[in-house]
Structure 1
Amino acid sequence: MITGHFGLAAAVKSAEKPVPLWALMLATVWLDILFTPLFLAGVETIDDAPGTNGGYGDGIIHADYTHSLVGALIIAAVTGWLCARWWNRRAGVVIGAVVFSHWLLDLLVHRADMPILPGNLGGLPRLGLGLWQYHALTAVIEALLLLGGAALYWRASRTTGATAGRSALLTALIVVSGGVTLGLDLAGL
């Protein structure tokens, strides 16, 4: 669910014009950005799921801090609070919600590898609906999210004037082409 995150950010931008698009795009992948140094340090890991070839979506992701339900809520709240101090309260709430939307979208695609508590404290059941096991369906859903978000962004930007509308169309096309290319590369299509 990589390109789908960007589609959601573009859709949110269509409704929240004062919030910068770059901030929404960054917020939508913020959990993965925080995952990266923890992965490199060996704190969070990825293992191949049994019986898979190790391709896109074929991993069991042990992101027990950044992608735990409570961890994602804390990260979203702190990020939202910081953004509220930088911009305003509404922008902070929107950014925080977009950060948490990452966890919700990942819940759809991840195998049951997302803990409820950070570090999987208490050994509670892990969450995930496992959509990644169906590569073609996942690619279609991600493409629909991306195209839908780009369309909403383009439509909303048309109200700002012709020059801005052309610029927004170019931005939307870049987002769509880059997202689709990234999604296809990762899906191995």
Structure 2
Amino acid sequence: MFAGHFGLAAAVKAKTPNVPLWALMLSTQLLDVVFVPLLLSGAETLESVAGEGYGGSLIHADYTHSLIGALLLAILAGWGAGKLWRRRGGVAVGSVVFSHWLLDLLVHRADMPLFPGNAGGFPLLGFGLWQVPTLSILLESALVLLGAVLYYRSVMAAAERSHRGWAVAAGGIMGLLLTLALVTDVYG
């Protein structure tokens, strides 16, 4: 779902021009960025599901991908972004960080806890859309298309007539990168 996350960040960029695109792209992947050192330390793990390709892993990210863990990371990131890009920028960044959890809820199998470390042993969450690859790919494609279109429209609207060529190029490059991310997601 990397491409879907990036598509959403591009769509948000269209509505919050004061927040740099790199910050929104990082925000949309912040849960996974924090996941990597925890994975390397063994605190969080990945488990392959035999015979599955697209989304073919159970992700035991009991800290970064818990509901409360994601909310805490979103609040911290939003607070920091608010210092740099004012309240609206902070709300945008915090929302984009938390959107990762919401999108993962749709596609993950039941492997996302409510509390860090799965405290309380509550049932794990996830609607498992990755188990229906066609539907999952359609959802992700819609997010990519939405992000590309909104980003393109925003750069075209912001560009002065003399800079329209650069705006077309920027919009086209964003669309291409989002498409490549989607292809990478689907085909590995």
* TM score, norm. by length of structure 2: 0.92
Letter of the structure 2 residue corresponding to residue 107 of structure 1: L
* TM score, norm. by length of structure 1: 0.92
Closer/same/farther in 2, CA of residues 179 and 156 from structure 1, 3 Å limit = closer
Aligned-residue CA RMSD in angstroms? 1.6
Unpaired stretches in structure 2, ≥5 consecutive residues: none
Alignment-derived partner of residue 179 in structure 2:
180
Letter of the structure 1 residue corresponding to residue 37 of structure 2: P
Aligned pairs for 1:40-51 within 5 A: 40-49=40-49
Alignment-derived partner of residue 171 in structure 1:
170
Q: Percent identity?
A: 50
Q: Does 1:130 align with 2:128?
A: yes
Further displaced range: 161-170 or 136-145: 161-170
Closer/same/farther in 2, CA of residues 27 and 168 from structure 1, 3 Å limit = farther
Alignment-derived partner of residue 78 in structure 2:
80
Cα distance between partner residues in 2 of 1:68 and 1:8: 21
Unpaired stretches in structure 1, ≥5 consecutive residues: none
How far did residue 165 of structure 1 move? Answer: 4.2
Closer/same/farther in 2, CA of residues 163 and 33 from structure 1, 3 Å limit = farther
Further displaced range: 60-69 or 178-187: 178-187
Is the 1:157–1:164 contact (alpha carbons within 8 Å) kept by the matching residues of 2?
no
Letter of the structure 2 residue corresponding to residue 136 of structure 1: T
Alignment-derived partner of residue 108 in structure 2:
110
Further displaced range: 26-35 or 133-142: 133-142
Q: How many residues align?
A: 187
